[in-house]
Amino acid sequence: MAENSSSSQPASTVTESEPNNSFATKQSLPSGISTVNGQLSSSDLDFFTISGLNSESLFTVEVNSDTFDPVLGLLDRSGDILSVSDDSANNSVIPILTGIVPTNGKLNLAVSGFMDKNLVGDHFQSGSYTLSLKSFTLPEPSVNPTIINGSFESSDFTGWTIIGSTSIQTSAFGSGPIERTSQALLSTAGATFSDKILETFLELKAGSLDNIGNGDVIQGSAIRQTFTANAGDILTFNWNFFTNEGAQVFPFNDFSFVSISSLSELVDVMFSSSVTSLTTQFFEETGFQTFSFTIPIGGTYTLGLGVVDVGDNTIDSGLLVDNVTLTSIPSTI
Ligand SMILES: [Ca+2]
Ligand SMILES: [Ca+2]
Ligand SMILES: [Ca+2]
Ligand SMILES: [Ca+2]
C-alpha cells in the first residue's frame, strides 16, 4: 500500500493494511504503537500483533467507530481466542478488553463486526474504526497520615489509587452528592478488570471475591487508600449502590464491597428495599447508606472499595462513595 507522506499523524499511530484476515497474516505493529486507524468491510477480519509492551503491566484496548458496531478479540500466541468483547456498557457499543500483558510483551488482537463472536468474519458491518491501546503500571501506594480527599472535592482521585471504571461525579449524575459537590462513582461498565487483578490491587487473598458467595465474579472497579490511624478512630463513609440487574428476568447477583482489615459485602442485587432510580442511568438504587468501622489497633490500614459484575459482564452496576472520614477520638489528658 502507498506510503502516507503526511506527517500529521503522531508517530504512535499506524494505518491498518490488508491482507490481515487471519492469525497467520496478522499485521505486526512496531513497539510504541497506541493507535491503529482501520477499515472494516463486510466479512472482513483485521488481525494485529503489538510487541514490545512491558510484561506484567496492565492494558486496556478498545475499538471506536462512528459507523458500525465493532467486536474485539484477544488471542493467545497460538491464535486461540482468550476473550471477545462486543459492548462494554449498557449504553455503549464500544468493545473493551483489559488484562495483564503476557511475559513475551505481545498482544494479539482481532477486530470484527457485530455479531461475529467467533472471529470468523461472519458479519455485515463496514466502516472506519480506531483501535486504541493503553498500557500502564499502578503506582506504588504511599501511606497517608490520615484519609486524604475522602470528600472527592479535589475533583480527582488525589490520595487514592484507582483501577477500572472510576469517575468523579456531581449532582448531574442524578443522585448525590451527599457531601458538598463531588463524589466518586465506581462502575462495572467500561474498562473494568478481572477479579484476580482486583484482588491483587486490594491485597486480598486470591479467590476472596468469589468466596463472598454471590457467584463467579467476572470484572469490576476499585479504589484504595492506605493511611495511618489510632486505636478507637472511627472510619465512616456514605455509599449508594446502583444496578440494572434487578430489571432482568434472571439477574446476576452483582455486589459492592469494602475491605479494611477484612473483606465484606456492602450490598448486592438482592437488597430488599429496592428503590426505582428515576434520575440516574441505572434502574434501581439502595439509596445512601452509612458504613462505620472502629480502628481496633493503631497502625497502617488500607481501605478498599469496589463494585463487581457476577456471572457475566453484560448488565451494569455501580457504587457512589462520598464523605470518607477518619474521626479521631480526642485524647484524654
Ligand atoms: Ca480491514
Ligand atoms: Ca482484514
Ligand atoms: Ca463530596
Ligand atoms: Ca452485572
Q: Is the confidence at residue 144, as pLDDT, over 60?
A: yes
Given pLDDT bands bounded at 50, 70 and 90, which one contains residue 276? confident
What is the Å distance from ligand 4's center to 107 Cα?
27
Residue 325 in grid coordinates: 472520614
Residue 145: asked if its preceding bond is cis (omega within 30°), the reply is no
What is the Å distance from ligand 2's center to 84 Cα?
17
What is the Å distance from ligand 2's center to 290 Cα?
53
What is the Å distance from ligand 2's center to 17 Cα?
8
- pLDDT tens for 74-101 read 999 999 999 999 998 888 899 999 999 9
Place of cell 481466542: 81
In the structure, ligand 1 is a single-atom ion and the residues with CB under 5 Å from it are: 39, 44, 46
Q: Note whether 12 and 30 are within 8 A (CB).
A: no
Q: Which domains does the chain have, with CATH numbers?
A: 13-136 (2.60.120.380), 143-327 (2.60.120.260)
In 3D space, the residue among 298, 176, 310, 156 whose CA is nearest the CA of residue 237 turns out to be 176
Ligand nearest to the CA of 243: 4
What is the Å distance from ligand 2's center to 319 Cα?
40
* pLDDT of the residue at 273: 60
Residue 56 in grid coordinates: 506484567
Ligand nearest to the CA of 182: 3
